[in-house]
Amino acid sequence: MGELENLSRRFGGHVPGLLGARAGYAVLCPLVERPEGLHLLFEVRSRTVSQGGEVCFPGGRMEPGETPQSCALRETEEELAIPREQVQLLGTPDFICNQRGFLLHPVLGLVSPQGLEALHPSPAEVAEVFTVPLSFFRQTPPECYRYNLEPQVPDTFPYEAVGIPRNYPWASGWVEVPVWHYGPHVIWGMTARIVRSLAEV
């Protein structure tokens, strides 16, 4: 098999992703209907898992061949016992590219009343669940904090070989972290960035 055929096989029909991404994750952004309007359903992570105590959406790492939608539904069923057939998928908001080298895919879905009745958090992963009116996020601006991403280039970088000066202006960046306080809960980080994108619609 020639090089051209190898390249054609590799990239023909290829769905582009993030170059160098080590993993993909998906979360369900669960909407529930209340008499006063739409709410978002959140989890608080169990203290026995990574990032314990943080507020998040149900979700996790995508398995090989899995779509963001199927991953989000699977993880929601595992974490909250909400059957996937009780979630009406509404679409896929913009994904987040994390500086640690992974993609986070939000999936928007409406949980049926039957799905809410079936809700039973897995104590191994979820400490509690709560809902917040979507109107709260629309009417309440988050606190916003920013931190810088500064390049740290090793002294051994071959500046001369690549033809650039040692004072080369390496690109830097920044990340904005929105924070909402809702009762005893704090919604922040990537979860809050997703919420902000939904509230801005």
- In the predicted model, what is the mean pLDDT of residues 164-186? 94
102 in Cβ contact with 119 (< 8 Å): no
The answer, yes or no, to whether residue 200 has pLDDT greater than 70, is yes
Alpha-carbon Rg for the chain, nearest whole angstrom, is: 21
pLDDT at 22: 75
Tell me 49's DSSP state.
S
List domains and CATH numbers for the chain. 21-141+179-199 (3.90.79.10)
Report how far residue 200's alpha carbon sits from residue 20's, in angstroms, rounded to the nearest whole number.
30
145 in Cβ contact with 180 (< 8 Å): no
Element spanning 60, H or E: strand 59-61
pLDDT tens per residue, range 15-34? 777 777 778 899 999 999 99
Which is nearest to 37 in space by CA: 161, 156, 135, 117? 135
Note the pTM of the prediction, 2 decimals.
0.87
- In the predicted model, what is the mean pLDDT of residues 102-131? 95
Contact residues for 13 (Cβ-Cβ < 8 A; gap 6+): none
Tell me 141's DSSP state.
P
